[in-house]
Structure 1
Amino acid sequence: MGAGRKARNPVQGMVWWVKKQPPKVKAFLGVVLGIVLLVFLRFVVRDHDNLFVAAEAIHAIGIAVLIYKLMKERTCAGLSLKSQELTAIFLAVRLYCSLVMEKDIHTVLDSATLITTLWVIYTMRFKLKSTLVEDLDNLPIYYVLVPCAALAVLIHPTTSHHLVNRILWAFCVYLEAVSVLPQLRVMQNSRVVEPFTAHYVFALGVARFLSCAHWVLQVLDNNSTLLSALRFGLWPIMVLISEIVQTFILADFCYYYVKSVVDGQNVVRLPSGVV
């Protein structure tokens, strides 16, 4: 009977089929799914810049989920303080770059997300410090900051802006791509991700995919405005690589999140070596 019920649910059956496939097949299927979604978005969304706005909005929603968790459960167990601090750093840098270079809707969204992120950090560091599990949040923050800073000095935009601003722009792009690594380390160490944390990380995964889709589709459409903003050299390639990296970093977790939802589980259970 149990097998029959599973068979009558196509989505659940598909998830179980994917689960049984070897890692290389899963990776291939993930790439295929990503391409299909890109094609879908290309024809459905007329202004592809809206994808980046949607990515920032979804990130803000994810932060709102964290705030709800902290206020309701009065615990920050399962959350990485270091990831929140890295997020605040790249948002602050991106907000500065936006103020001196753009001053558009992205400035407003980044301001709101930065304020809420700072509130989360304050709550975790001071109000709920006793619930932090620092042994799990054990990825040194300089392992992330130093390589991003060094790479930004070496490879940055060739626009007409001041050199410092161009390096800072590159730094926030690189840091955003890997800022979630401490959070993934926490989840890898605990192996069980409670609902609100899972919702937050899944929201990050969706936001990162939409951001990646924005850049890829703009390039495919030969958007002259974007290409003139990125200019020449290695920088345009590094932007695309950064977007792809931050998408694939969360791909495994998003799969297990969807699987848990389909199976009706309240928590996300990760096998060894997933993130």
Structure 2
Amino acid sequence: MRPPRKPIHVVSSWVRRQPPKVKAFLAVVTGMVALVLLRAIVHDHDNLYIAAEAVHSIGIAVLIYKLTKEKTCAGLSLKSQELTAIFLAVRLYCSFVMEYDIHTLLDLATLAATLWVIYMIRFKLKSSYMEDKDNFAIYYVVGPCAVLALFIHPSTSHHMINRFFWAFCVYLEAVSVLPQLRVMQNTKIVEPFTAHYVFALGVARFLSCAHWVLQVLDSRGHLLTALGYGLWPSMVLISEIVQTFILADFCYYYVKSVFGGQLVLRLPSGVV
């Protein structure tokens, strides 16, 4: 007699059989339900942004553990780490000249850890770096982000170059994980620590997106006005949503793998 299937397996099998439009609809509904729960549970929604940066830091800590204990950087994208360092450095500069608060300190710590990861991959553990798998051309994202920032940026009273940098780091953050997804797409098998790191990025992106959406709802749209006029306020929200959905598919398979008791995540064709 066959043992009964776990509910998570039943649900995941049903979802997998659905057409792409139904999957997209289910993802949107799940996100909306999560937003409602966060709005009810978290009273100060500004804390969600701090939580997002904290989760990102936890993800970096997982990478540090992997690099120091296992002495390998297999499965990691150096290019994603470099893009992360770029947008963190730019955002850190903007924080110093435009606001300087708790986010500045969190970004400084995360940037320092990211630079250490880059150093380990590029020099100490170079022999295990999968350079042939890390074949995403970063100028495909850096160039368009710079051009977009040149035309769509905040309309605040800050200097033009600062407003450009602000927009550039927002856009670059939204797509910085693409090289890492390409590596996983090329290998199809994701070892545990890399999977934990990417899942942490997904959670951080969702919390950041939830922060902006709930802040807009709390202010009844006035936050968008405070960000400026034109297309910039909408682009901030779109960037947050884009980076959340980029990782949504991976996070689904990660959760499915965890509940299924699998230590190694195997991605089906077409994922990420």
Which TM-score band applies after superposition, normalised by the shorter structure?
A: over 0.9
Counterpart position of 2:162: 165
Shift of 1:25: 1.5
Say which is worse superposed, 213-222 or 144-153, in terms of deviation: 213-222
What TM-score do the two structures reach when normalised by structure 1?
0.96
Counterpart position of 1:233: 230
Which residue identity is paired with 1:245?
A: V
Counterpart position of 1:141: 138
Counterpart position of 1:262: 259
Counterpart position of 2:87: 90
Counterpart position of 1:70: 67
Counterpart position of 1:16: 13
Shift of 1:14: 2.0
| 2:208 aligned residue (203, 211, 223) | 211
Shift of 1:118: 0.3
CA distance in 1, matches of 2:129, 2:194: 14
CA RMSD of aligned residues (A): 1.3
CA distance in 1, matches of 2:99, 2:221: 17
Shift of 1:225: 7.3
Deviations 1:69-122 (A, max 9, x none): 001111100000000000000000001101111111100100000000000000
Match of 1:109, SS state, is helix
Deviations 1:12-58 (A, max 9, x none): 33223222222221111111000000111111111111000000000
Give the 5 Å matches for 1:11-50: 11-50=8-47
CA distance in 1, matches of 2:127, 2:138: 21
Match of 2:172, SS state, is helix
| Pair 1:2–1:122, CA change in 2 (3 A) | farther
| Pair 1:2–1:71, CA change in 2 (3 A) | farther
Which residue identity is paired with 1:97?
A: C
Deviations 1:209-234 (A, max 9, x none): 00000111111122677435411110
Which residue identity is paired with 1:20?
A: R
Structure 1 unaligned spans of 5+: none
Shift of 1:144: 1.1
Contact 2:225 2:233 in 1 (8 A): no
Counterpart position of 2:239: 242
Counterpart position of 1:104: 101
| 1:188 aligned residue (157, 161, 185) | 185
What TM-score do the two structures reach when normalised by structure 2?
0.97
Which residue identity is paired with 2:206?
A: F
| Pair 1:225–1:121, CA change in 2 (3 A) | farther
CA distance in 1, matches of 2:218, 2:112: 34
For the pair 1:174 / 2:171, whether they are aligned, the reply is: yes
| Pair 1:186–1:115, CA change in 2 (3 A) | same
Q: Quote the sequence identity (%).
A: 76
Contact 2:8 2:256 in 1 (8 A): no
Match of 1:250, SS state, is helix
Which residue identity is paired with 2:23?
A: K
| 1:55 aligned residue (49, 52, 57) | 52
Counterpart position of 1:116: 113
Which residue identity is paired with 2:20?
A: P
CA distance in 2, matches of 1:262, 1:12: 9
Shift of 1:11: 3.0
Deviations 1:188-240 (A, max 9, x none): 00011000000000000000000000111111122677435411110000000
Structure 2 unaligned spans of 5+: none
Which residue identity is paired with 1:40?
A: L
Which residue identity is paired with 1:43?
A: A
